[in-house]
Amino acid sequence: MSTLASRLFGSARLDIRSYEEVEADRHANAQAVLVVLLSSLAAAIGTGIREFWSTLILLLFVLTSWMVWVLLTLLIGTQLLPRRETRADFGQILRTTGFSSAPGVFRVLGLVPGVGWILFLGATVWMLFTFVIAIRQALDFESTWRALGVSLLGWLIHGLLFFGFVEIAF
């Protein structure tokens, strides 16, 4: 059994074995949620959010948003664009994508004067790469391109839902 730290490093390194391990470990759901929360907290700090309530609202929104993205990805990957070998459930996608947010802890470097925004952006792009690998492994795809397609389609629908929510809310 690997430690949380080894899973974090493995996921950040795009190590397929790490993703396969967390996909299979039904007891790693809480760890996956913790990784998302740590990544989101690092992003809040990296963007300069300091107020407790703003941070709490952001964390709740991020968790809700992530759950929507996980559900969309599950539906798209298993119902719309599956392969014959595709077998996945909500927990498998939750765990793999949760750990795919491991590079997000580096978004705290957004505080570095002058180059912080570049470091923040770099960590965010890194997270997108890890998300695609997480989806590839969770959905048992052989093709990274298919995983990218599922991820992008989920992201686009997620974005439309999010921006629709923002439009209605404000």
Query: What pLDDT is recorded for position 165?
Result: 53
Query: What pLDDT is recorded for position 78?
Result: 96
Query: What pLDDT is recorded for position 2?
Result: 75
Q: What is the pLDDT along the chain (170 residues), one digit of tens a residue?
A: 579 999 999 999 999 999 999 999 999 999 999 999 999 999 999 998 888 888 899 899 999 999 999 999 999 999 999 999 999 999 999 999 999 999 999 999 999 999 999 999 999 999 999 999 999 999 999 999 999 999 999 988 888 887 765 555 44
Query: What pLDDT is recorded for position 126?
Result: 97
Q: How far apart are CA 56 and CA 44, in angstroms?
A: 10
Query: What pLDDT is recorded for position 170?
Result: 44
| Whether the model pTM is above 0.85 | yes
- CA angle 41/64/73 to nearest 5° reads 110
Q: How many CB atoms lie within 10 A of CB 160?
A: 10
3-state helix, strand, coil in the chain (%, to 5): 80, 0, 20
Measured N-to-C along each axis, helices 116-138 and 29-46 cross at an angle, to the nearest 10 degrees, of 160
Q: Which residue, 63, 43, 68, is CA-closest to 120?
A: 43
Query: What pLDDT is recorded for position 49?
Result: 87
